Structure 1
Amino acid sequence: MAFPNTPVLDTFISSLSEIVRDRDGAKLQDFLQIEPPLPDVYTQMVDELRRKYPNESPKEAELLRRCEGLVPKSKGGSTWTAFPTFMKLYFCFLRDANVENLLETYDMLKVLLNQCVMALGDSQFGIVVLPTVLYLSKVLAKLAMGLDRRPELIAHLLRLEGGPDQDESTEKVTLVEKSANVVREAFIKCLTDRSGTPGVHGKPEGKRVGIYLMANLCLKLLFQCGKLRNAEQMFASITAQSPPLKHFPASQRVTYLYYLGRYLFSNNLFFPAQIALQSAYDQCHHQAINQKRLILTYLISCNIIMGRFPSLQLLQKPEAEGLADKFIPLCQLIARGDYIAFRDHLTVNSPATEWFARKGILLPLRNRCEILVWRSLARKVFIHGGFHGDPQGQAQRGPPPFLYLTKLEAAVRWLQSQHPSSHPLPTTTPFASSIPPHTNKSQYGSQIVSIAPDPDFVSLDAPVTNGSGPDPSLLSKYADYLCPDGFFDATGQWQTNPTKTLIDGTPDSDYSQYELNPYAETADQEPDKPSPLMREIESILASLLTQGLMRGYLTHRNPRFAIPGARLRGALPTGFPNVWQTIYARESEDMGVPGWVQPPPTMMGGTPAALGGGGRVVNLSGARPVGVQ
């Protein structure tokens, strides 16, 4: 039935009917445009829709009936009821969309995409709208991320969500996350399509050709909103149901491996992340400089954490422009062994911190690379101050190479003395007499990690008192010490004390043994008892030994690190093996990457390898008895 008042709409619907009948999904997507600026024919069609089918009028039911004619009829009637509803929403979107109100446009577009995903679920015709689902998903993602970057446009929405009835314990869902949820539904429709052979033995057929297109877009949105935990189920579903990744186009493979590598990196699975990122970098087109630089950022970070520094040849490539200034100073600090300078380089106030934090690699580098810094420090101290064995008595039995840990302790205290403002040094040990004095004399907590004192534990360093005020005889005897007429404050300024108050609080009531120095501390530490710093150093070395980054054993009575079996290879290669080779030898036993579907292994001749022997039937009817020729 023709409608003379809507010639453009009639022609448009007639063309769509032919497209659906031919199942031309690419042409359908080309027709269903929504991004401005639209061609003039769409403007004319919008005018006809506003005249003939105004918003919230009874005529909208007539528009739906016209859209129902787009679906091919069958004997039992059409089952693709979701598509006419989608087309009706599409026409309403063209008619009512207001680009000046981006939030309202977002809500309308999300409803439109939801309906298109429902149409995608049809087993016969759903494949026709797959390109359209991808197109609408990209537009929705672009709009959601744009609104996320401009919070002033959705400030009123946030105020409404933060009303008096809002439960503060529930996590707020952002527009980007809502978009990711819609795209994930489309991904599930593609993944669960039953056309062709399922699993790792199949190839992309039907709607499954869109598995990684939808997965990559969903992962992009999840990374944008920082909800990576929601991607775990996606990777598990892909592993269980997706065809091998090698059957998909290179652009989809590279994008997916990049996001998979970043996901594994964020979950501290650095070895499989390195495999995925390395494959993405190798398969990326040589002209895609920006994409290769993005991949290199995380690939270099993975390798540094595993003790593999980037070469100058790599950092001189076009895609590595600017990365040398970020990573070379970090590698130099790791090799130097100055753990305080390493922390200062990646601290909050460091100029390099902003770039590392923006890329999401600051905390992994800061937390995972410090153990390599300690290994470098221990190695340097062993080179310069350790016992490397007797070169003249190789054939004779003698002590193995070793390092006195007191030398490593002295090196740590010397490093602390070079950074007095960042890391105050306790001064109650004999070695402290040779370095500048510091104000912090705490023997509680870590001697390596500098943390502001907790106010609840300040009293640990305060003088011990019996809860009562000082004895009057004590004040009369030590008044010039305890409550003088004036004193120098922490800034060196003279402060008067006219009220004769106690300068340092209530002192210990028993000063009989301190005639000359009432502030002297009791030397209650046993001579042979290791210092708190020595305990921490032993713990760090024990961690290095457990991880295989150092080889040998520790002795505690006379603290040493010994390297047995060093006669053949030497002390350094034996006690301090190559970090990357050590990790690779341990992790390469299983080269599988979670979330990366590989083809099944093949045997000689190209036949697939059997996954197991159970359930196979062997026909023995023609078998001869044993020994019969």
Structure 2
Amino acid sequence: MAGHTPVLDQFLSSVAELVQNRDGAKLQDFLQIEPPLSEIYQRMIEELRQQHATPQSETALLQRCEALVPRKGSSWTAFPTFVKLYLTFLRDVNVENLLDTYNLLKALLNQCVLALGDSQMGVIVLPTVLYLSKVLAKLAMGLDRRPELIAHILRMEGHTDRDENIEKVTLVEQSANVVREAFIKCLTDRTGNPGPQGKPEGKRIGIYLMANLCLKLLFQCGKLRNAEQMFASISAQSPPLTFFPASQRVTYLYYLGRYLFSNTLFYPAQIALQAAYDQCHRQALSQRHLILSYLIPCNIILGRFPSRALLLRPEAQGLTERFEPLCRLIARGDYIAFRQHLSIGSPAAEWFARKGILLTLRNRCEILVWRSFARKVFIQGGFHGDPQAQAQRGPPPFLYLQKLVVATLWLQSQHAPSNESPSDATAAFNSYGSQIVAEPADPDFSGLSDSPAVGNPDADHELLVKYGDYLAPDGLFDDRGYWHENTHGNLVNGVPEAEDDDRQLDPYGQPDPEANGASPVMREIESILASLLTQGLMRGYLTHRNPRFAIPGARLRGALPTGFPNVWHTISAHEQEDDSVPGWVQPPKPSLGAPALAGGRVVNLQGARPVGVQ
């Protein structure tokens, strides 16, 4: 039998009154868990430890909590269990042991999410779910920075570092999974009017609160692929984002823009990030600075550089020295300096890597560097057309590709080679692979180009030792699919002929440049220009005999605007055919001819003839 517990009695009585009044905000104020707790909570914890410390007394405590729920027409059994877990959490938690605290708090939040699922009473605990989720997220991210505690958890679960086939689930990801369950319950609530015109009511008001917290955790643990289903569910079931407060809209659009950016959907990402920046309060400088950290590189990839006025704003402090050198390198067209600027280990690359945009900038902006390079060479050495020629005569503006080759080799000569690693400045001397970009040799084929000619017994033996599993396997299938043993170790392709050389086995072997009149550098230049033409970043055509880049139709606008159109205008004109942003629910656009206000149109049928009457 329970003893005298005046503070606990008063607490349970107040909770019952709040449930009766459906006052979820005040209930969340009562259910405090973050230290330091006030004196009244300390007295209640002491009563719990004295009167409800045994399993039998916990049963009695659950019975007392069951009285909190109105008995008429309610089966909200998950809530009394949640309150009982809350009280035992206060009684048992030891804030010095962060791991146990995390496990107890996660169990408490799980039970609160179950209580949230009730169709009639669940909305009362929505503020509490959000409060507990924030505390759990803060604790999980703090523990995630303590690797020694994470290792202890793995040992308790029976995993070791040698379990490479088992994907490690971090505490942050576990927390995100719990928050996602709360998000699903908010999203699937049927309170109010469903559809794109229905304003959020009931638990649906928490859709973006829970979504933003879950996205924050997923970005923290790097599991962005788990967010794909969230965005798909929001697109299918959520009310329009405009019905929610500005703080929720800005946060959601920021995470949506980052997600689209990481999935190379740069134009929709730019729209989402720009909307987040425009709707963010002017005095929220740190939030606007964070948005600009991703909005600016997104625009750079699309061909639009930040203006000086933007970089002088207070929220852009510190971004000028990050992005201005990058923009200058792109406009200069120096691909070697660009690659060095964003190379792993360079001073500038560390900040981009910490933001998670380094590889994206390297991969997506290099083609813009080559466009600037080709444009500058065309300005200096291209044929811009004969202004005296008549409209129907004279060749179009063109550029000999050999001039691009010479300019590439000259650019390489302007950069000092590095002694520590292969340098793009010495790529023209490569005997294999690219002669524009230097990459380290594949160690599996190191020294192959320098091996003696095939036909020498010593060379044959050396090749068989290194590549015997390929040249003379243990067996092979014939053309009818039957297996044949190769017990004598014969060469499957026969004995190499005298005129064969080691390049037949060299994956980097280059054909003789004089055989077809095209050097390796020329072929790479052609490939780069073909990519620019395919993407619409340059306009014209290539000729392979006497290689040239020609710009037809340049008489009206000129060679440069025609052959090198504005990158941003080109991309935006193509992307604007479908300006929808995946994951962003907006009110439906009014159809043509329909009134702007909601409601059906009144049609006057006076004088209409019956069907079939002439």
TM-score by length of 2: 0.87
Residue of structure 1 in register with 2:99 after alignment? 103
Q: Which amino acid aligns with 2:562?
A: T
Residue of structure 2 in register with 1:494 after alignment? none
Contact 1:443–1:532 (CA under 8 A) maintained in structure 2: no
Q: Which amino acid aligns with 1:72?
A: P
Runs of 5+ in structure 2 lacking a partner?
A: 460-497, 500-509
Q: Which amino acid aligns with 1:18?
A: E
**Can you list the C-alpha shifts for 1:209-259, whole angstroms capped at 9, x where unaligned?**
000000000000000000000000000000000000000000000000000
Where 1:403 maps in the other structure, the secondary structure is: strand
In 2: Cα distance, 1:525 partner to 1:361 partner? 39
1:11 equivalent in alignment to 2:10 = yes
Deviation at 1:443, TM superposition (A): 3.3
Of the structure 1 ranges 241-250 and 3-12, higher mean CA displacement relative to structure 2 is found in 3-12
Deviation at 1:533, TM superposition (A): 1.1
Contact 2:427–2:434 (CA under 8 A) maintained in structure 1: no
Where 2:447 maps in the other structure, the secondary structure is: helix
Where 1:561 maps in the other structure, the secondary structure is: strand
How many equivalent residue pairs? 559
Deviation at 1:98, TM superposition (A): 0.4
Residue of structure 2 in register with 1:124 after alignment? 120
In 1: Cα distance, 2:456 partner to 2:322 partner? 56
Deviation at 1:157, TM superposition (A): 1.8
Q: Which amino acid aligns with 1:561?
A: F
Residue of structure 1 in register with 2:456 after alignment? 467
Deviation at 1:421, TM superposition (A): 1.9
Q: Which amino acid aligns with 1:363?
A: L
Alignment of 1:166-565 (within 5 A): 167-395=163-391, 397-422=393-418, 441-462=429-450, 464-465=452-453, 466-468=455-457, 525-526=513-514, 529-565=517-553
Contact 2:3–2:51 (CA under 8 A) maintained in structure 1: no
Where 2:560 maps in the other structure, the secondary structure is: helix
Deviation at 1:355, TM superposition (A): 0.6
Residue of structure 2 in register with 1:70 after alignment? 68
Residue of structure 2 in register with 1:623 after alignment? 609
Q: Which amino acid aligns with 2:64?
A: R
**Can you list the C-alpha shifts for 1:100-127, whole angstroms capped at 9, x where unaligned?**
0001000000000000000000011000
Residue of structure 1 in register with 2:89 after alignment? 93
Contact 1:109–1:140 (CA under 8 A) maintained in structure 2: yes
In 1: Cα distance, 2:518 partner to 2:449 partner? 20
Of the structure 1 ranges 193-202 and 291-300, higher mean CA displacement relative to structure 2 is found in 193-202
Of the structure 1 ranges 228-237 and 167-176, higher mean CA displacement relative to structure 2 is found in 167-176
Q: Which amino acid aligns with 1:572?
A: L
Deviation at 1:292, TM superposition (A): 0.1
Runs of 5+ in structure 1 lacking a partner?
A: 427-435, 471-508, 511-521, 611-617
Contact 2:422–2:440 (CA under 8 A) maintained in structure 1: no
In 2: Cα distance, 1:200 partner to 1:463 partner? 70
1:589 equivalent in alignment to 2:588 = no
In 2: Cα distance, 1:391 partner to 1:96 partner? 89
Match of 2:596 among 593, 606, 618: 606
Where 1:526 maps in the other structure, the secondary structure is: helix
Contact 1:424–1:440 (CA under 8 A) maintained in structure 2: no
CA distance 1:310–1:124, change in 2 (3 Å): same
CA distance 1:406–1:440, change in 2 (3 Å): closer
Deviation at 1:152, TM superposition (A): 2.5
Contact 1:413–1:425 (CA under 8 A) maintained in structure 2: no
Where 1:533 maps in the other structure, the secondary structure is: helix
Residue of structure 2 in register with 1:40 after alignment? 39
In 2: Cα distance, 1:528 partner to 1:550 partner? 27
Contact 1:602–1:608 (CA under 8 A) maintained in structure 2: no
Deviation at 1:445, TM superposition (A): 1.4
CA distance 1:388–1:608, change in 2 (3 Å): farther
Deviation at 1:202, TM superposition (A): 1.0
Identity in percent: 71
In 2: Cα distance, 1:164 partner to 1:187 partner? 32
Q: Which amino acid aligns with 1:212?
A: Y
Deviation at 1:458, TM superposition (A): 2.6
In 2: Cα distance, 1:384 partner to 1:31 partner? 75
Where 1:388 maps in the other structure, the secondary structure is: coil
Greater CA radius of gyration, 1 or 2? 1
Deviation at 1:348, TM superposition (A): 0.7
1:59 equivalent in alignment to 2:57 = yes
Where 2:549 maps in the other structure, the secondary structure is: strand
RMSD over aligned Cα, in angstroms?
2.6
Of the structure 1 ranges 20-29 and 148-157, higher mean CA displacement relative to structure 2 is found in 148-157
Q: Which amino acid aligns with 1:458?
A: S
In 2: Cα distance, 1:269 partner to 1:338 partner? 27
Deviation at 1:624, TM superposition (A): 4.8
In 2: Cα distance, 1:548 partner to 1:609 partner? 45
Contact 1:601–1:608 (CA under 8 A) maintained in structure 2: no
**Can you list the C-alpha shifts for 1:61-100, whole angstroms capped at 9, x where unaligned?**
000000000001115xx31000000000000000000000
In 1: Cα distance, 2:149 partner to 2:423 partner? 51
Contact 1:24–1:128 (CA under 8 A) maintained in structure 2: yes
Residue of structure 2 in register with 1:136 after alignment? 132
Q: Which amino acid aligns with 1:321?
A: Q
**Can you list the C-alpha shifts for 1:311-344, whole angstroms capped at 9, x where unaligned?**
0000000000000000000000000101111011
Deviation at 1:626, TM superposition (A): 8.0
Deviation at 1:5, TM superposition (A): 1.6
In 2: Cα distance, 1:439 partner to 1:599 partner? 55
Contact 1:71–1:80 (CA under 8 A) maintained in structure 2: yes
Contact 2:7–2:43 (CA under 8 A) maintained in structure 1: yes
Where 1:393 maps in the other structure, the secondary structure is: coil
